Chain A
Amino acid sequence: GAGVSQSPRYKVAKRGQDVALRCDPISGHVSLFWYQQALGQGPEFLTYFQNEAQLDKSGLPSDRFFAERPEGSVSTLKIQRTQQEDSAVYLCASSSRGAGSPEYGYTFGSGTRLTVV
């Protein structure tokens, strides 16, 4: 596609529910990133994929967070047993470059706003 597409745009979940957030990167983009942006904060890194391989998951805040990219294109971020502190905008970004090439910048999606009530 022309840009990075994320769905749903908004998600309201009851505390304890599981949620799945989808990211469609730009076609052919090798690298895919997930960031979490809490209200009033800058985005914070969650995890990074190069094709289907998850090369860095150091930013995932707990074992309730899980991300996958099984075929090297679409990615899903899953949050189990959601808590109120999970409320944030989840941003996906992709890049045509592989690891270690941040100078080319990334294309960000519009994000999924998750509200846990």
Chain B
Amino acid sequence: AQSVTQLDSQVPVFEEAPVELRCNYSSSVSVYLFWYVQYPNQGLQLLLKYLSGSTLVESINGFEAEFNKSQTSFHLRKPSVHISDTAEYFCAVTKITGNQFYFGTGTSLTVIP
């Protein structure tokens, strides 16, 4: 079975400061890794994903995540956050031949002016 752990339920950070949201996963088979973002009263939006190849993946709005197989981690980082980054962030995994996502419990990122 697959599982995802997001240890930080809430992360407050000042505007323009760097941030890291941690994600660790457990799986006995190969997986794909994803980060989704959920803004208030909206659905989940795909932020970025790791499928294969380069272990560092980037989103269009400055976030990046690095797949670390030995540490079974997929931490999300941004060097300088904006107020508009305030949202709930979910890490998820899926088997490469699977259909369902296994989500972590989410990390609430609050950017403080």
Contacts and interface: CB of A to CB of B under 8 A. Distances in A.
On whether the two chains bind one another, the answer is: yes
Interface of A: 3-4, 31, 33, 35, 40-45, 48, 55-56, 59, 91, 93, 99-100, 102-103, 105-111
Interface of B: 4, 6, 9, 32, 34, 36, 41-46, 49, 51, 90, 92, 94-106
B99 A43 contact: no
Query: Which of B34, B103, B104 gathers the greatest number of chain A CB atoms within 10 Å?
Result: B103
A23 B19 CA distance: 35
Contact of B94 (A4, A59, A102, A109): A102
Contacts, number: 66
Nearest to B34: A105
A88 to B, nearest CB: 13
A13 B51 CA distance: 41
Contacts of A33: 99-100
B105 A40 contact: yes
Contact of B101 (A45, A55, A100): A45
Contacts of B46: 105-106
A44 B102 CA distance: 7
Nearest to B43: A108
A4 B100 contact: no
A103 B99 contact: no
B51 A103 contact: yes
A59 B102 CA distance: 12
User: When A and B form their complex, which 10 residue pairs have the shortest distance between CB atoms, in order from nearest?
Assistant: A42-B103, A108-B43, A45-B100, A108-B44, A102-B94, A110-B43, A105-B46, A100-B97, A42-B105, A43-B103
A103 B101 contact: no
A42 B106 CA distance: 6
Given A40-B105, A103-B49, A105-B49, A56 B99 contact: yes
Contacts of A99: 99
14 contacts: A40-B9, A41-B106, A43-B90, A45-B101, A56-B99, A56-B100, A99-B99, A102-B94, A103-B32, A105-B34, A108-B44, A109-B43, A110-B41, A110-B43
